[in-house]
Amino acid sequence: MLRPGRNTAARWRSIKLALQRPGIRRPFHDSRPRHFRPAVLTRIDQNLIQPLGNWVLSIGPLGLLRWSFGTFLAHHLFTSYFFSYNTTWGISMLPTLNSAGDGVLISKYYRRGRGVQIGDLVSYVHPADREVHAVKRVIGLEGDFVTMGPAYVDDHDNPVALANEGKMIQIPPGHCWVVGDNLKHSRDSRGFGPLPLALIRGKVIARWASWVNWEWLNNPLQDARVDDYDVD
């Protein structure tokens, strides 16, 4: 092994001492322009980072691990049993939801179909691809009769043939029937059949395009009454 000579060691000690002296700075030889950083941002960073660093040092590694685990657990419980937020894309729910950029607030009280009514917007796991989540409107519950159709088109505007188009189907127990508001461009129960209630993640209760542009989503459908129609 090679050892540094005395001159090298002495020179290194002198450099180290010089760098530790107050007021000694490394000369700046870079010809590139320095980035401008407002003093306000510098003060904000100092006011935030320094207390955070002191807090991390005060609780120690084990305390930081416990805090991280508790935060993760609280987030998981909140998004699984109370509320969650997702963004939407696609044209199947026009004009209720925009094709891109809308955020939706999902109430997990209605998960697995609890309390879901006809006309509600629900978020669900796609029965054919468990990695895909979708939002559609419920138009039928178990025991209801629905008519298969109308036909919809694929991504290339080619009509998709429905095996039972025009036929009336009764929704089996534990299922519901969902469709998109934009019927012509929506892949829904007309393609994969009745949706199991167990796949419902929750009910969509609000939408917003920004923090200042949001609205509650109310059920637009009302129960029909016999006296609304002429019955012989």
CB-based contacts of 166: which residues, under 8 Å, 6+ apart?
A: 147, 148, 149
Residue percentage of the chain with pLDDT more than 90 = 38
- Please tell me the distance from the alpha carbon of residue 136 to that of residue 117, in angstroms, as a whole number: 13
User: Out of 14, 68, 84, 92, which one is annotated catalytic?
Assistant: 92
Which member of 108, 123, 136, 186 is catalytic?
136
Per-residue pLDDT, 198: 97
pLDDT tens digits for range 103-134: 999 999 999 999 999 999 999 999 989 899 99
Domain ranges within the chain, ordered by starting residue: 38-81, 83-220
Residue type, 33: P
Q: What is the pLDDT of residue 181?
A: 95
Q: What is the CATH number of domain 83-220?
A: 2.10.109.10
Active site residue 99: no
Distance CA 178, CA 193 (A): 9
Asked whether the whole model's pTM tops 0.75, one would answer no
For residue 56, pLDDT beyond 50:
yes
31 is a catalytic site residue: no
Residue whose C-alpha is closest to residue 153's, from 100, 99, 88, 91:
91
pLDDT band at residue 151 under the 50/70/90 scheme: confident
